[in-house]
Amino acid sequence: MKSLKYLIPLAFLASTAAVAAPETYEIDPSHTYPSFEASHMGVSLWRGKFNSSSGQVVLDKAKGAGTVEVTVDVNSIDFGHDKMNEHARGADLFDVAKYPTATYKGKLEGFVDGNPTKVVGELTLHGVTKPLELKINSFKCIPHPMLKRELCGADALATFQRDAFGISAGKDWGFSMDVTLRIQVEAVAKAK
């Protein structure tokens, strides 16, 4: 009878530990689009996106912590304009032959009501790594209706200077180096 007395609390602790464990989510590349906005000669704002990305998010809701790792195929750049895409892949801008990927690694922080409000991390672009903090405008998790696993989605935003990453085309002509990065991401919990 004494062993039963200790077994019930241990079983309860084991079940709550499993619930509170960090969860790993795989980024869904078909629902994730890092995009950006940058000035074109100071007269218009050009928008582009990257059509291929991958990565994972680890989220510990109980502790209010987590990590993000994203890899972007820079060759998948898409302005909706073939000649601009070709130019952007060249040595003047992204130089995809030399730098085929961009990565972002960071920690989820600033949790409010169980949801992160920012990611503090580093962006590696064009062979240069710099700190970059993403503001999370929205973050939500729901049961995926078809996969029967948790699906989380977020909309994040940051601004940086592209010349800090060695992409300075047009700087000598007075072009703005400001780039606004927007990331619309969805990630699905890994199957158990």
Distance (Å, whole) CA 182 – CA 156: 6
Would you tell me how many other CB atoms lie within 10 Å of the CB of residue 179?
19
pLDDT tens for 6-65 read 444 444 444 444 456 899 999 999 999 899 999 888 888 889 999 999 999 999 999 999
CA distances from 66 to 13, 14, 118, 120 (A): 23, 22, 11, 11
**35, 184 in Cβ contact below 8 A?**
yes
Distance (Å, whole) CA 69 – CA 176: 29
First CA to last CA across the chain, in angstroms? 35
What are the structural domains, with CATH classification, of the chain?
Answer: 21-189 (2.40.128.110)
Minimum mean pLDDT range among 4-8, 75-79, 170-174? 4-8
* Residue keyed to tokens 């304009």: 81
Average pLDDT of the segment spanning 98-123? 96
Cα angle 73, 79, 80; round to 5 = 115
Residue 9's pLDDT is what? 45
Candidates 136, 158, 125; CA nearest to 57 is 136
Average pLDDT of the segment spanning 84-107? 96
Residue 43's pLDDT is what? 85
Residue 158's pLDDT is what? 97
Q: Using the predicted structure, report yes or no on whether residue 101 has a pLDDT greater than 90.
A: yes
Residue 20's pLDDT is what? 62
